C-alpha cells in the first residue's frame, strides 16, 4: 500500500523531455559555431579583397613606373640626337652611338617585361627579339661579334620565360664583357630530361674550379636565385671544342607544343 502511494505521489516526467533539453543545448552550440564560421568567412573575404586591391595598386604602380622609365629613356635619346647635330663630327658620332645604346636598353627593358600579362610564350621568338636588342646594346657597329639563337620552337609558361629572359640577359652581358666573341643561345628539349637553355661563348673561359655558389659577383647571385625560382639546375662547362664557357640551365615545365627546330 505504501509503495503504491509513493508511486502515485512521484511527479511523472515524459521520457523525451531530457532529449528536448539536450537538443536545445546542441542547437545553441550549433548556432554559435555557424555564427563563428560566418564571421571567419567574412574576415577571409575582407582579407582577400584587401589583397586583391593591393595587387591591383602594385600593378598600377609598376605600369606607371614602366611608362615613366620608357618616357625618360626616349627623352634621353632625343636629347643625345639633338646634341649630335651641333657637335663636331667625332663627338656627333659618339653621341649617336650613345643614343642608339640607350634606345637598345629601352627595348631590352620592354622585352623583359613584355610577358607580364601573358600566360604562355613562344620562347625561341622571344629570345630572338631579346638578343637582337642586347646585340644593339652590347656590341658596337664596328665589331664583328653577334648573338646567335638556335634550337627548337617551343611554348613555355610565362612564369618560366620571364626569369629565363633575365638569366639570358645576365649571361650574355657577362660574356660580352669578357669573351669578346660570338655568343650562342641554344634552346633544346628532351623527353627524359626536360628543357635546357644554354649560353655559349668562345672567350678565355672560367677559372679552374670555378663554383657559382661561391661567387661573390652580383650577376651570379641573381642567376642562382632565378634558377631556383623555376626549380632548375645550372651547369657550367667548357664551350665548343673546349673553348670559352657554356652555361646551361635545365628545367621542367608543363608539356606544351614543340613546333620544330
pLDDT, residue 186, reads 95
pLDDT, residue 17, reads 52
Same domain, 99 and 218: no
Strand ranges of the sheet holding 153-157, from the earlier edge strand across to the other edge: 120-122, 153-157, 258-260
Same domain, 131 and 250: yes
Task: Find the domain containing 158 and state its range.
Answer: 119-261
- Residue 157: which CATH number? 3.30.565.10
What are the backbone dihedrals phi and psi of residue 77, each rounded to the nearest 5 degrees, phi first? Answer: -60, -45
Q: Give the start-end residues of each E strand in 160-226.
A: 183-190, 194-201
Picking from 113, 143, 167, the residue at the C-terminal end of a domain is 113
pLDDT, residue 23, reads 67
Same domain, 242 and 139: yes
The tally of domains found in the chain comes to 2
In a domain, 7, yes or no: no
pLDDT, residue 19, reads 52
d(CA 242, CA 248): 15
Picking from 113, 137, 164, the residue at the C-terminal end of a domain is 113
Closest-CA residue to 184 (of 125, 247, 228) = 247
Same domain, 106 and 138: no
Same domain, 102 and 67: yes
Same domain, 207 and 255: yes
Same domain, 108 and 123: no
pLDDT, residue 187, reads 94
In a domain, 207, yes or no: yes
In a domain, 127, yes or no: yes
Same domain, 144 and 188: yes
Same domain, 151 and 101: no
pLDDT, residue 151, reads 92
In a domain, 168, yes or no: yes
Q: What is the mean pLDDT of each run of 10 residues along the chain (261 residues)?
A: 50 52 73 85 85 77 66 78 84 80 71 73 90 81 81 89 88 84 91 88 80 74 89 88 88 60 49
- Judge whether 153 and 188 are in contact, CB under 8 Å: no
Same domain, 53 and 143: no
What's this model's pTM, rounded to 2 decimal places? 0.62
pLDDT, residue 67, reads 64
In a domain, 1, yes or no: no
d(CA 248, CA 261): 18
Same domain, 60 and 132: no
pLDDT, residue 258, reads 47
pLDDT, residue 42, reads 84
Same domain, 34 and 161: no
Amino acid at each position: 500500500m505504501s509503495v503504491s502511494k509513493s508511486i502515485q505521489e512521484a511527479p511523472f516526467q515524459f521520457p523525451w523531455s531530457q532529449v528536448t533539453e539536450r537538443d536545445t543545448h546542441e542547437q545553441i552550440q550549433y548556432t554559435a559555431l555557424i555564427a563563428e564560421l560566418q564571421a571567419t568567412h567574412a574576415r577571409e573575404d575582407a582579407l582577400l579583397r584587401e589583397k586583391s586591391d593591393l595587387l591591383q595598386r602594385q600593378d598600377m604602380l609598376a605600369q606607371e613606373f614602366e611608362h615613366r622609365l620608357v618616357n625618360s629613356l626616349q627623352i634621353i635619346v632625343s636629347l643625345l640626337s639633338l646634341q649630335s647635330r651641333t657637335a663636331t663630327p667625332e663627338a656627333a658620332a659618339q653621341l649617336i652611338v650613345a643614343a642608339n645604346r640607350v634606345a637598345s636598353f629601352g627595348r631590352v627593358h620592354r622585352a623583359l617585361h613584355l610577358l607580364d600579362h601573358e600566360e604562355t610564350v613562344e620562347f625561341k621568338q622571344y629570345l630572338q627579339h631579346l638578343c637582337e636588342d642586347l646585340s644593339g646594346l652590347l656590341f658596337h657597329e664596328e665589331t664583328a661579334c653577334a648573338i646567335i639563337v638556335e634550337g627548337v620552337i617551343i611554348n613555355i609558361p610565362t612564369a618560366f620565360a620571364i626569369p629565363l629572359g633575365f638569366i639570358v640577359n645576365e649571361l650574355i652581358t657577362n660574356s660580352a664583357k669578357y669573351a669578346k666573341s660570338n655568343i650562342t643561345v641554344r634552346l633544346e628539349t628532351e623527353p627524359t630530361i626536360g628543357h635546357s637553355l644554354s649560353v655559349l661563348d668562345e672567350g678565355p673561359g672560367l677559372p679552374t674550379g670555378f663554383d657559382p655558389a661561391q661567387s661573390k659577383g652580383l650577376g651570379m647571385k641573381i642567376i642562382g636565385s632565378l634558377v631556383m625560382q623555376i626549380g632548375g639546375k645550372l651547369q657550367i662547362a667548357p664551350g665548343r671544342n673546349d673553348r670559352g664557357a657554356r652555361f646551361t640551365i635545365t628545367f621542367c615545365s608543363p608539356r606544351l607544343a614543340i613546333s620544330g627546330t
